[in-house]
Amino acid sequence: MVKSEFFTQRTGKRLKLASQVAQSFGSTISDVALDGSRRKSAPAVVKVKKESEPIDLVKSHGNDTKRARVKSEEGTHVKLEETPIPKNFFPIYNEVKLIRSKITTPVDSMGCATIPIRIAEEKSGPLFRYRLLVSLMLSSQTKDEVNYEVMKSMNDYFKSVGYENGLCLQAILDVEPTKLDELIHKIGFHNRKTVYLKSAAVIVKEQFNGDIPKNIKQITALPGVGPKMGYLLLQDAWGINDGIGVDVHVDRLANMWKWVNSKTPEQTRLALEKWVPRELWQEINPVLVGFGQVICTPRGRRCDVCSLASKKLCNNIDRGIISKSRREKESAALRGVAVKERKIRGDISQILDIEDLA
C-alpha cells in the first residue's frame, strides 16, 4: 500500500470516529444549523490603557472608484468596471477610527486575534495558529469576554494534566468529547462546537501535517469554519489578506450607513470587497466591531457620546437618546449629584459628551 493510500484510509477511520462522536451529541459533522444553549453572563471587560498614537486616517482621492475586471454577458471579452465608493464612506470611517482611538472595547483585549497572545504570549508559529483557529471556532454566537475566559481555562486545564504547551492540537485530539464539552460549556452551541473541534483537529493533523492551511477553500472546508473566520484566520495567522471578515457588527453598520444593501454577512462581504480599498480589508473588522460593541450597539445605542451625531455624519441618529441624556445631566446638576452612567462593555471615559442635537 502506498503512503498516500494509507493516510487516506487512516483519515477516513478518524473522521468516522468523529462522526460517531457527533451522533452522540445528536449532531452531524456537516450540519451547520445551530440550535442554541443558554450562556452565563459575561465577566467585566478588562480595561487596557491605550497609549497616545497618531491615527492613520484614510485619504480620499477625488473621484473614488475601485476598478474590477468583469466578464461581459457573452463571456468572450473582459472589460473594466468601476465600482464607486460611497460618498459617506471616508468621512464616517475616519471619524469611527478617531472614536476607536479614545475607547477600549472587548475586541481590543479579548478578541480572537489577541487571545493566543494573552493566554500564552504566543505570537507566531503552528501553536499560535492552532489556538487562533480554536478561538475563532468558539467565537460565533459568543461574546469576546466569554470566549477569552473559556480559552484561558482550557489552556490552564491542559497544562494541569500534563500538556506542556497547554491548549494544543494533541490535547484536543486526546481529550474525551464529554470533557471537552464540559470545558467549553459557557460557549454558545457548545455541543456542536465540541464535534467541530474534534473533527477539525483530525483533519489538521492528517491532511495538513498539524498546521493551518493557507487558502480559504481549505480553511472553510474545516467543520464549523465559515468565510468570516476563514479570512480573519488567513490575515492573523499567515498575513494573507484575501478577504474581509464580516460579522454581525460589520454587517449591521455597513447596511445602516447604506454602504451596502444586503441581507446576510456573506452578501455584505462580497459587496464591500468590490470597492473597499484592499489596504483596509484587515483593519476594518476590528475598527467596526469595537465601535459596534460599545458605541453603536444593537440595543441601547450611545448617540449621546458619538461624534458621528454631532457632526451629522450618521443617517440613523436617535435624537431621543440625546435628549434623554441632556435631561439626565440637567437633573443631576440641579441635585448636585453625578450622572449615573449606563453599564457598557468597554471604557469610554475619554469621550466627551456632545451637545444636544434635538
For residues 63 and 79, give the distance between their C-alpha atoms in angstroms, rounded to a whole number: 20
The set of cell numbers assigned to 323 is: 435628549
For residues 286 and 57, give the distance between their C-alpha atoms in angstroms, rounded to a whole number: 15
Q: What does the DSSP 8-state code read for residue 306?
A: -
For residues 20 and 27, give the distance between their C-alpha atoms in angstroms, rounded to a whole number: 9
The set of cell numbers assigned to 338 is: 453625578
Identified catalytic residue from 198, 228, 258, 329: 228
The set of cell numbers assigned to 73 is: 454577458
C-beta of residue 105 within 8 angstroms of C-beta of residue 294: yes
For residues 185 and 310, give the distance between their C-alpha atoms in angstroms, rounded to a whole number: 43
Of 223, 134, 248, 235, nearest to 180 (Cα)?
A: 134
C-beta of residue 206 within 8 angstroms of C-beta of residue 200: no
Contacts of 201 (CB under 8 A, 6+ apart): 169, 172, 173
Cα 218 versus chain centre, distance: 20
The set of cell numbers assigned to 38 is: 443558554
The set of cell numbers assigned to 50 is: 491605550
50 given a catalytic annotation: no
For residues 289 and 280, give the distance between their C-alpha atoms in angstroms, rounded to a whole number: 14
C-beta of residue 307 within 8 angstroms of C-beta of residue 358: no
Which residues have a catalytic role annotated? 228
